[in-house]
Amino acid sequence: MHMDLGAAPGVPTVLYTQRQHELDTLFSSLPTPARSLEGCWRGRLMAIRGFGWLPRVFARMLYALLGTPLNPWSGKSFANGTGANRWFGVRGAAFGRFRVVEQAMSPVDQQPVVWLDYDVPENPRLLRHIRGEARQLGNGLILARMNWKTQRGLYRVLYFTLVPG
Amino acid sequence: MIASDVIVIGSGFGGAFAAERLTAAGARVTLLERGPWRDTPSVRAAGVGPRSPLPRGFGFFGRALRSLNLPLLPGGRLRLNAHGLFDLHLGREISVVCSSGVGGGSHVYSAMNVRPAVPDYWRERADGIDTAMMDAHYDAAITRMGARIPDASVPNFIGTRLQQNPLLRPPSVESQPAMGFRFESSTFTDNSFFGCHDGSKVTLDSLLLLPALARGLQVHDLHEVALVGPVRDGWCVTAYDHRAKVYRHLTASRVVLAAGTLNTLRLLFASRDAGALGAVPALGLGVGGNGDVPAYWRCNTADADYSRGTPCHGRFGLRDIAPGSEDDVDLTAYGLNGIDGVPMPEALRRALKRDLILVGMGADQANGLATWTGGRLRLHYSRTANFVLARIYRAFDRIAARSARPVYFLRHWPLTVHPLGGARVGDDPQQAVLDGYGQVHGVSGLYVADAAALPAAPGAPPSMTVAAWASHVAAGIAAQG
């Protein structure tokens, strides 16, 4: 079932100025999406690991830049329990596929989450280390986190938002 | 993550009254205030800190202004000093001055504690409110403020000072506004727009919040809220801690917005844009400025020192205007109280002490509109569609003509210190944002307890109307348990 989206929400700019550890707290408190994720969603990156030293004003500028077509990653699409990253447009090339688990428990904060598992045969070996988590920030606004799985555990890589594309 | 029963955003007449009442009812309340604790005698004595000084002396200009909001600025806003006292919002159609700090507007207001000039102000506004109920809240708030009418012993009290002026008609002492002011201990200096240094003015930090701290109220100053949204177990408030320079996320089952009209509207618009509130079709409707028209009367009264006295010298009318007639607008006079703390040449200071600030006020139509574009709040307000402004302009013109002394005011650019509306109360969600208990229509657990909720202009200083409304909202929340 699709979410009842209405007009696509705006992404609050305050998200772009937050560090990863600050967004961790917000992310842990969010509910899972009220409806299954389906269709194309436009993405915006933020709180990238390694950039926490940037002054907030520059971080905001960086993430604003990454929200322009200069960044080839445009978002994600979802269909029937699977999904793919979209490049060069929200309906552009699909690369980096994942399986969607809707009733999962986050190994990071032990709270319910929609789990995006990149360990699927279509992906190159490197991408299979990615584990995504998604929760609902508002009606039609998803806050998600990309983790990197190693033998020692999960490492948070970045956050991103998704709005209907 | 800090969890509470209720998070109150803002500590002015809405936030402080709501937080105090909820704390007294046994709720775990966290209050967030974007400004600092002010270094006033009672706060200092209570040992609360760190505190920020009120603007005075050489630090005056650095501490006076917190931010400048201009449409032309990148991002619409220039933050100058998180500890500053005033925010200045300059708009094409109306401009607004408001303050920040624990205690909110009580530090800078004129201390007038009055009911609305509009009779039956709360009558038939929404289910859940009635006049008798609100009268009880007014009584309690005015009593709590310790408000009383000044007498002739107060320096520059208008009832006596201007009695002989052939132009002005001071109303009887009985119809002067009651003031939340410690008359017995006051030095009658330094107690007005730039804050009160000697504790004469009854401010909400000392009156309500310090005692509530002892009962468990948590106050986080210098926490500027940026976003409010629903989470798994209630609401999450995202606030920037200016002291630690980090974002904090606080959760509670209920959130009360009382950040001042403009900031409350910003939060509601931002949250609506983020998909957190639903459509809220009436958001932004019914904005007004309470008919404020400030003016400077270069009356140059010989031997006068109008800077002494209570924050407001009192109410007056014009002798040639019949009481109760259409042109009989509400006028109040103020000296430049606190001017001794502002660095300036002595000759200029002496000259300014002989002049008066006049403020005209009246129930405007509150028919303006607040809009939200690209993360910027804009106020649309028609000067000509709010008739009371023209009446006040005429009154000032009369004063200037009859006294042969200029009265300076912004005839084409409304300026208010009492913005209101935009999230008004009413039963119809197409016309009003809040129900009769202050909760956003269709959004459980989110309340508004400041002047943004007001359904019309009170036409008089609105502090007690906001306090009464906040008390009503808090009582409703407390009754739910």
DSSP secondary structure letters along chain A: ------SPPPPPGGGGG--HHHHHHHHHHPPPPSS---EEEEEEEE--TT-TTS-HHHHHHHHHHTTSTTSSEEEEEEETTEEEEEESSTTSEEEEEEEEEEEEE-TTTSSEEEEEE---TTS-GGGGGEEEEEEEEETTEEEEEEEEEETTEEEEEEEEEEEE-
A2 in a structural domain: no
What sign results for the dihedral spanned by CA atoms B137, B140, B145, B149?
A: positive
- Identity of the residue in A17, A31, A141 whose CB atom sits nearest the CB atom of B274: A141
**Which residues have C-beta within 8 Å of that of residue A155, sequence separation ≥ 6?**
A49, A147, A148, A149
The contacts of residue B161 (CB under 8 Å, 6+ apart) are: B313
Between residues B425 and B158, the one the model is more confident about: B425
Residues of A in contact with B275 (CB under 8 A): 9, 137-141
Question: Residue A154 sits in a domain of what CATH number?
Answer: 2.40.128.580
Residue scoring higher pLDDT (B259 or B233)? B259
What is residue B106's three-state secondary structure?
Answer: helix
A residues 128-157 near B, CB within 8 Å?
137-141
pLDDT of residue A151: 92
Cα of B232 to nearest chain A Cα, Å: 5
| A9·B274 Cβ contact <8 A | yes
Candidates A121, A75, A71; CA nearest to A98 is: A121
The closest CB to that of B232, out of A12, A30, A140, belongs to A30
Of A41, A137, A141, A159, which to mutate for an interface test with B (greatest number of B Cβ within 10 Å)?
A137
A81 and chain B: CB distance < 8 Å anywhere? no
Task: Answer whether B279 sits within 8 Å of A6, measured CB to CB.
Answer: yes
Indicate yes or no: CB of A22 within 8 angstroms of CB of B270: no
Tell me the per-residue pLDDT of B275-312, one tens digit each, with 9 for 90 and over.
999 999 999 999 999 999 999 999 998 889 999 999 99
- Whether the CB-CB separation of B19 and B254 falls below 8 Å is answered with no
Phi, psi of A130 (to 5 degrees): -80, 135
pLDDT per position as a tens digit, A137-164: 999 999 999 999 999 999 999 999 999 9
Q: Which two tokens stand for residue B425?
A: 């109360």
Identify whether A1 is part of a domain.
Answer: no
Domain contains A157: yes
Q: Which residue of B has its CA nearest to A136?
A: B231
Predicted complex: ipTM over 0.85: yes
What is the C-alpha separation between B451 and B2, in angstroms, rounded? 27
Task: Please give the residue range of the domain that contains residue A88.
Answer: 13-164
- For residue B75, what pLDDT band results from cuts at 50, 70 and 90? confident
Nearest to A25 among B1, B227, B278 (CB): B1
Instruction: Indicate whether A146 belongs to any domain.
Output: yes
- DSSP letter assigned to residue B374: T
Percent share of chain B, pLDDT over 70: 99
- What is the amino acid identity at position B115? R
Of A10, A25, A29, the CB nearest to B232: A29
| Domains observed in chain B | 2-480 (3.50.50.60)
Q: In angstroms, what separates the C-alpha of B216 from chain A's closest C-alpha?
A: 24
Mutate to test the interface with B, among A13, A29, A110 (most CBs of B within 10 A): A29
* pLDDT tens by residue, B148-188: 998 888 999 887 777 777 888 877 766 889 999 999 888 89
Query: B373: distance to nearest CA of chain A, Å?
Result: 11
**Number of residues written out for chain A:** 165
A6 domain residue, yes or no: no
| pLDDT mean over A9-25 | 91
Q: What is the pLDDT of residues A98-141, one digit of tens each?
A: 999 998 999 999 999 999 999 999 999 999 999 999 999 999 99
Are B278 and A17 inside 8 Å of each other by CB? Answer: no
Contact criterion met (CB below 8 Å) for B331 and B312: no
pLDDT at A5: 38
The confidence band for B64, taking pLDDT boundaries of 50, 70 and 90, is very high
pLDDT tier, A4 (very low <50, low <70, confident <90, very high otherwise) = very low
Q: How far apart are CA B38 and CA B107, in angstroms?
A: 9
Torsion on CA atoms B1, B232, B442, B33, rounded to nearest 10: 0
Residue of A nearest to B247 (CA): A22
> Of B3, B12, B4, whose CA–CA distance to B258 is shortest?
B12
- Arithmetic mean of pLDDT, B450-479: 97
pLDDT of residue B3: 76
Query: Is residue B371 scored above 90 in pLDDT?
Result: yes
**Is B270 in contact with A19 (Cβ distance < 8 A)?**
no
List all residues of chain A from 28 to 67 with a beta carbon under 8 Å from chain B: 28-31
pLDDT in tens, B307-326: 999 999 999 988 888 888 88
In the chain, the amino acid numbered A128 is R
The percent of residues above 90 in pLDDT, for chain B, comes to 81
Q: How far apart are CA A46 and CA A49, in angstroms?
A: 9
Provide the pLDDT for residue B1: 59
**Average pLDDT score over chain B:** 93
- B130: Cβ contacts below 8 Å, ≥ 6 apart: B122, B123
What was the pLDDT predicted at B374? 83
In a domain, A5, yes or no: no
Residue A56 covered by a domain: yes
In A, which residues are within 8 Å of B230 by CB distance?
31, 138
Distance separating alpha carbons of residues B195 and B259, to the nearest angstrom: 19
- Which amino acid, residue B190? D
> What separation in angstroms does the CA of B259 have from each of A13, A128, B447?
20, 47, 12
Render pLDDT for A63-100 as a digit per residue (tens, 0 to 9).
Answer: 999 999 999 999 999 999 999 999 999 999 999 999 99
Q: Are B41 and B31 in contact (CB under 8 A)?
A: no
Q: Is-contact B407 B400, C-beta < 8 A?
A: yes
Task: Identify whether A114 is part of a domain.
Answer: yes
Asked if A19 is an interface residue toward chain B (Cβ–Cβ < 8 A), one would say: yes
Contacts of A31 in chain B (CB under 8 A): 230-232
Q: Which residues of B393-403 are buried (b: 16+ CB within 10 A; e: fewer)?
A: bebbebbbeeb
Q: How far is CA B397 from CA A4, B268, B329, in A?
A: 57, 40, 13
Alpha helices, H only, B325-407: 346-353, 387-403
- Residue of chain A nearest B272, judged by CA positions: A9
Q: What does the pLDDT read at residue B49? A: 84
**How many distinct helices (H) and strands (E) make up chain B?**
11, 24
Strands B95-99, B86-89: pairing kind: antiparallel
What pLDDT score does B461 carry?
A: 95
Tell whether the model's pLDDT for residue B460 goes beyond 80.
Answer: yes
Alpha-carbon span B318 to B358, nearest angstrom:
13
Look at residue B128 and tell me whether its pLDDT is greater than 70.
Answer: yes
Mean pLDDT of B459-478: 97
A17 touching chain B per CB within 8 A: yes
Q: Report how many domains make up chain A.
A: 1
Pairing of strands A153-164, A39-46: antiparallel
Q: What is the pLDDT of residues B202-228, one digit of tens each?
A: 999 999 999 999 999 999 999 999 999
Q: Which residues of B touch A137 (CB under 8 A)?
A: 229, 274-276
Higher-pLDDT residue of B231 and A2 is B231
Whether B74 has a pLDDT exceeding 80, the answer reads: no
Sign of torsion over alpha carbons B76, B81, B83, B87: negative
H or E element in which residue B439 lies = none
User: Looking at residues B128-144, what average pLDDT do you find?
Assistant: 96
Residue A2 has pLDDT above 60, yes or no: no
Beta strands (DSSP E) in B178-244 are 218-220, 223-231, 234-241
Phi-psi region of A140 (alpha: psi -120 to 50; beta: other; left: phi over 0): left
Residue B86 has pLDDT above 60, yes or no: yes
Q: How many beta-carbon contacts under 8 Å exist across A and B?
A: 66
CB contact under 8 A, A29 and B1: yes
A136 in Cβ contact with A4 (< 8 Å) = no
pLDDT of res. B394: 95
